[in-house]
Every structure is written in structure tokens, then in C-alpha cells.
Structure 1
Amino acid sequence: MPMLEIAVQDPEGIAVARDHGADRIELCTALALGGLTPSRALIDAAVASGLPTHVLVRPRAGDFTYSSVERAVLLADVRVALEAGAHGVVIGALREGGVDTDLVAGIRAEAADVDVTFHRAFDVVADRGATLQLLAELGVDRILTSGGADRAPDACEELARLVALADGRIQVMAGSGIDASTVWPILATGVDAVHASAKRLVSEPLAVRLGGLATAGAFSREVTDPGQVAALRAAVDSDTHAGPGR
């Protein structure tokens, strides 16, 4: 049965994922920006929850080509996550349109016996098939992908192709646009795991402007929704992904 991974960004999200059926979490902050590296204290809280915790290591928003200074910070953050007891790290680095092989190989060596996931930087490379083969050779355990589309449910044919290419040498985890209503065609592709943020918006008043994306007045933030996590758990556990007519 495919694993259910929930991306969470705060202590409440960790508890929701644990209590409503996630198999593991991807821990980050700033999900609205695609996720950034979480603090050591947040990693500690996630590991203490008992859920397998895979820590996203991404030093800034934007693209995935990093300067030498950013590369050093990324490697240091991997070490921090490992020292905190993370069960895996989630990384992605590109150079000249392809994988930054030196950095990925360095992270794989640092990670030793914990999992390494290559995140959706995979979706912006020109040749996903060749990139999958390269990542498998580098010892990466899995890729997180939407099949190159904005939403994974719109790329099921590509996901199935990647699963076939992987042939068990590297796991394929589908992510983006997945909820209980869209997961069955994703599961039918044969992916090893599904990844979702299962989030909803809550509105709160903000008295003063705190930044370009946090202006005074009504302010919305994303939280992990218990109902969505539970519904995804039920959908993954059911046989509804077999589709109509089963």
C-alpha cells in the first residue's frame, strides 16, 4: 500500500498529521512559498511526535540553483536535521538546468543511512526520465514529483511512465493537487507514496503591517486540516483508487 506523507509547517500540523493517519511527515516552514528549512526546535518537536520525520532543507524561496554560500548553508542544515534525529532529508539542487550532482552526492554522503528525497526541483528539468536515472545512480531514495504539471492529477500518464522507468530502483512519490477526491487515479499509476499538504485557510486580524505579504487588516494563514488528512487516509486505505467498475 502506498505511503501517505503530509507536509506540515508548525507544531499543530505535526499533531494533526500524527493523530489523523499520516505515515510520515515532510517538515518545513512557509508552505505558501513551496517550503523552507524549519528551525531546530521544530525538528525536535516533530521527531518527538513519533512520526517518521523527513526535513525539507531549502535555504530560500525561488529557484534551485544555489551559490557557494547557499550550498554551505544547505549542507549545514542537513547536518542539523540529522543531529536532531530526522528520519530523512528532502533536498533539490540544480545547475545549468540539470541536477547539481556534486551537491546531491555530498548530501547523500552526509545522510549516511537515512532517506534522501529529491523534491519538485525534479519537475523543472528538461528530461525527467534521464534525471530519474541519474538520481537513482546517486543513491537518492525517492523523488517527489507532479509529473511536470502544476497538479499531479493532470499528469497521471507521466507518473506511470516514471514509475515504470524507476523499476523499483528509486521510489516515485506524487505530490501537488492531491486530496481525497483526486487521489485514486494517482494511486492507479503505481506510485510508492502520495504527498499532500491537506491545508485550509484561517483568517485573523493583523494590527500592523509586518512585511510585503503581511499587511495590516485581515490576514490569512494556512493550517493543516484534520478532516482532509483523515479523508486522504481513508481514500488511500480503500480500494476506490481502482476506479469505476471495480
Structure 2
Amino acid sequence: MRVEIAVQDTAGAAIAYDAGAVRSELCVALPLGGLTPSIGVIRQIRSTVPGLSLHVLIRPRPGGFVYSPAELELMANDISAAADEGVAGIVVGVLTGTGGVDGGAVETLRQAAPQLEYTFHRAIDHTPSPLAALDAIAAAGFTRVLTSGGAPTAGQGVATLQSMVATGSGLTILAGGGVTIDDLPALAAAGISEVHLSAKSIHRPSGSGVPLGASDTEGTSYQVTDPVQVAAVIDQANRLG
């Protein structure tokens, strides 16, 4: 079983690479579900950890996956800029107003850098049926789909994940969403070959600060990639084959 680690900075990317992660998804603002990172951090990771297969999340804002023409233009520009930095792949997803996969939009975005590998992210879990959405994603030329099987967590969505694997869509079903080390045996038994998790902990420096937003309750704490969690998950995944 292969492990993808979601990271938010260069230190996290180095931890993932050193532990043997198959790739990293780079984003910022994980508490918001992840947003597009800056070109600066992409460039720094490519320079510091050149051997890491780096896939960049393209999501311009939180709150749904239906985008305006201006937002889609921004996303295409971000994809092109990330490609210029030598990333291996892009993680993106767009839905229609009725909740289906917007095949035309994602195909247009993919053409911004068609040489890269594309993952459709957990927008699929906002569709009426993640299982039914696979055909449109495959038709748009994507390689894999990150999904919890439409459940709050991948552990709760094992049955749907197993059905998604069984469709023979040609897509790699990347199980993600609240994945823990304890979920790995059940996911492996369901035929899942790749899992995605952030393996994070909270860094709390001494002192206090003024909260800067609704999700910033302490003013000084922030999330970091936990090397102990990453190592343990990858070790368990390797044991599962």
C-alpha cells in the first residue's frame, strides 16, 4: 500500500520524502480543506526536496466547488505557474450547479498543463454518487481520485470505496479523509492501494497571541507534519503490501 502525505510547508515535504511517501500533496489552510499554495513554497520544496513527487492543490477559495469563469481562469493560471516550477501533478476538482462533475471545466483546466498527472480531489464526495462520478473524471484524463467514498471519513466509506475500485474505471482510488493508521487493514482488504493523510499535530509555542480569525482560536498555534505519525503509517502500509 502506497502513502501520500498532505503537507503545508517545506519541512513537512522533507519529512514525507525521508519517510518514503510515494508523493505529497501540497496545499495551505488544511483546516479549511486546503487551498492553493504560493509559488514561493512550491519553488522552495522543489529546490530543497527535488526527489519528492510533488502534487499541488489548486483550490482558490473554501466553500464549495462551483467556480465562476474568473475563478477558473485563475485556477488555469495557477496550474501553468506550478507546472513551470517542475511539479509532478495537480490536484483539482470542479462541480456543476447540480452537484455533478463539470467535465468540460476540468478538461479545460487539465489542458493548462497536459503533461502533468491529475488527481480529482474530494469534490467527488460532494456529488450525489461518488461511484457514478468516476466515468466523467476518467473521461477528462485524470489518473486518480481522492475520496472518502462520500462518507465523513474514509474508514466509514469502506464499502463504497470497495465498489469504486471494482468498477474498473482505470482510475486509482486514493482513499482519504480522516484516515488513521487503524484504518489501513480494512482499506487494504477493500482493494485500496493508495491512502492519503496529513499525519499532523499542533505546534503550540510558549506565550499567547490575539486570535486573527474564526479558526485561529489561540493566536500562536499551527499545524505541522508529525514525523512519528508519518513513519508509523508508512511502516504499517509497507507491511500490508
Same fold at TM > 0.5: yes
Aligned-residue offset at 1:101: 1.7
> What is the alpha-carbon distance in structure 1 between the residues aligned to residue 91 and residue 131 of structure 2?
20
Question: Where do residues 22-101 of structure 1 align in structure 2 (5 Å cutoff)?
Answer: 22-48=21-47, 49=49, 50-96=51-97, 97-101=99-103
Superposed CA offset, 1:115-140 (max 9, x none): 10000000010122221011111111
Contact 2:148–2:157 under 8 Å retained in 1:
yes
The code of the aligned residue for 2:140 comes to L
Q: What CA RMSD, in Å, does the superposition of the two structures yield over aligned residues?
A: 1.6
Contact 1:21–1:229 under 8 Å retained in 2:
no
> What is the alpha-carbon distance in structure 2 between the residues aligned to residue 77 and residue 144 of structure 1?
20
> What is the alpha-carbon distance in structure 1 between the residues aligned to residue 24 and residue 64 of structure 2?
23
Contact 1:89–1:117 under 8 Å retained in 2:
yes
Aligned partner of 1:129 among 124, 128, 131: 131
CA gap 1:92/1:112 in 2 versus in 1, 3 angstroms: same
Aligned-residue offset at 1:168: 5.6
Question: Where do residues 12-31 of structure 1 align in structure 2 (5 Å cutoff)?
Answer: 12-31=11-30
CA gap 1:30/1:188 in 2 versus in 1, 3 angstroms: same
Contact 1:203–1:218 under 8 Å retained in 2:
no
Aligned-residue offset at 1:20: 1.8
| Residue 7 (structure 2) aligns with | 8
Aligned-residue offset at 1:113: 2.2
CA gap 1:108/1:147 in 2 versus in 1, 3 angstroms: same
| Residue 176 (structure 1) aligns with | 177
Superposed CA offset, 1:46-71 (max 9, x none): 22312000000000111111112111
| Residue 213 (structure 1) aligns with | 215
Equivalences, count:
237
Decide which moves more: 11-20 or 86-95.
Answer: 11-20
> What is the alpha-carbon distance in structure 2 between the residues aligned to residue 86 and residue 73 of structure 1?
18
Give the 3-state SS of the residue equivalent to 2:201 in structure 1.
strand
> What is the alpha-carbon distance in structure 2 between the residues aligned to residue 218 and residue 116 of structure 1?
36
Contact 2:212–2:219 under 8 Å retained in 1:
no
> What is the alpha-carbon distance in structure 2 between the residues aligned to residue 201 and residue 232 of structure 1?
18
Give the 3-state SS of the residue equivalent to 1:95 in structure 2.
coil
CA gap 1:30/1:218 in 2 versus in 1, 3 angstroms: closer
Question: Where do residues 182-221 of structure 1 align in structure 2 (5 Å cutoff)?
Answer: 182-204=183-205, 205-214=207-216, 219-221=220-222
What runs of 5+ residues in structure 1 fail to find an aligned partner?
242-246
What runs of 5+ residues in structure 2 fail to find an aligned partner?
none
Query: With structure 1 as the length reference, what TM-score do the two structures score?
Result: 0.91
Give the 3-state SS of the residue equivalent to 1:135 in structure 2.
helix
> What is the alpha-carbon distance in structure 2 between the residues aligned to residue 119 and residue 206 of structure 1?
35
Structure with the largest fraction of strand: 1
The code of the aligned residue for 2:43 comes to D
Contact 1:28–1:35 under 8 Å retained in 2:
yes
Contact 1:90–1:116 under 8 Å retained in 2:
yes
| Residue 162 (structure 1) aligns with | 164
The code of the aligned residue for 1:143 comes to V
